[in-house]
Amino acid sequence: MHGLREQSGRLARAVAEGAQSLPDDVRLVLCPPFTQLASVHGIINAEGPATPLRLGAQDCHTTSSGPHTGDISAEMLADLGVRYVILGHSERRQAHGETDVLIRQKVEAAEAAGLIPIVCIGETMQERLEGRTTTVLATQVEGSLTDGFTGILAYEPVWTIGSGTIPPIDELERTVSLLHGLLQSRLKTDDIRVPILYGGSVTPAQAPTIFSIGSLGGVLVGSASLEAESFLRIAEAASFRLTSQPLSGPYRS
């Protein structure tokens, strides 16, 4: 919950300007608050069809319309030019009590509206200490995704958020490999075309280490995205990674 009109507009314009030098393979999805979607959409559109910027939202409702005062439907988001929507973020799961069942219903609504869902999963510190990471992630993948899911999966270990640290790189590599296996099991195919992102204290300093994991498809950036300079430095780290080996994909634009 960050950004009034002036701040959001200034940030989006600065990112748009800096993104002009990024290679074609890099995609930046800007997910402002609902109140800033229209203005940020205008800024992205002004960059023309070649821009690497895409518009995303931070949540949606399970239904397309009806008596749900205060909620936003996926169709409303699509009508504003939104292409992506974040679902199941740890803050939504914790503060709003969102369950895997509810998140799956939101995924269904997003897919029906033509949006690309970015579904967040991750374990808490308590779950990690109890050795339940695999069980927690398996439950979330099984419960949150639809049978034909073709969106994006974002792994955000809750215990890293805001901590300034990331999991040890070997542990993160094992977790990403685990998620690939869980996706194969959930979607019943070996041909997994669901990019996996990492989220949790993603900073410019941490980005090169994170991107050293070749099976990752990108990152879900939190507080570092509130400053154009730090956000663009993370994008540049992705760009540098692409010069040696493509990130995992594929992506729909």
Query: For the residues 88-110, what does the mean pLDDT come to?
Result: 96
| 89 included as an active-site residue | yes
Q: Which residue has the higher pLDDT, 243 or 230?
A: 230
Band of pLDDT at residue 1, cut at 50, 70 and 90? confident
Instruction: Give me the chain's average pLDDT, please.
Output: 93
Question: 59-90 pLDDT, tens per residue?
Answer: 999 999 999 999 999 999 999 999 999 999 99
Per annotation, catalytic residue among 156, 171, 229, 236:
156
Q: How many CA atoms lie within 13 A of 3 on its CB side?
A: 22
DSSP state of 247: P
| Residue 19 predicted with pLDDT over 60 | yes
Q: Looking at residue 163, what is its pLDDT?
A: 84
In DSSP terms, which residues pair with 30 in a beta bridge?
A: 55
Band of pLDDT at residue 182, cut at 50, 70 and 90? very high
| Residue 148 predicted with pLDDT over 80 | yes
Using the structure block, give the residue that is written with the tokens 């949790």: 200
- Cis bond leading into 250, ω under 30°? yes
DSSP 77-122: HHHTT--EEEES-HHHHHHS---HHHHHHHHHHHHHTT-EEEEEE-
Residues 82-98 as b/e (b if ≥16 CB within 10 A, e otherwise) read: bbbbbbbbbbbbeeeeb
Of 145, 144, 150, nearest in space to 100 by CA: 144
**For the chain, which domains are there?**
5-244 (3.20.20.70)
Per annotation, catalytic residue among 61, 89, 98, 123:
89
| Residue 247 predicted with pLDDT over 80 | no
DSSP state of 194: -
Q: Which residue has the higher pLDDT, 158 or 250?
A: 158
Sign of torsion, CA 226 229 22 215? negative
| Residue 250 predicted with pLDDT over 60 | no
Of 27, 87, 28, 79, nearest in space to 57 by CA: 87
| 156 included as an active-site residue | yes
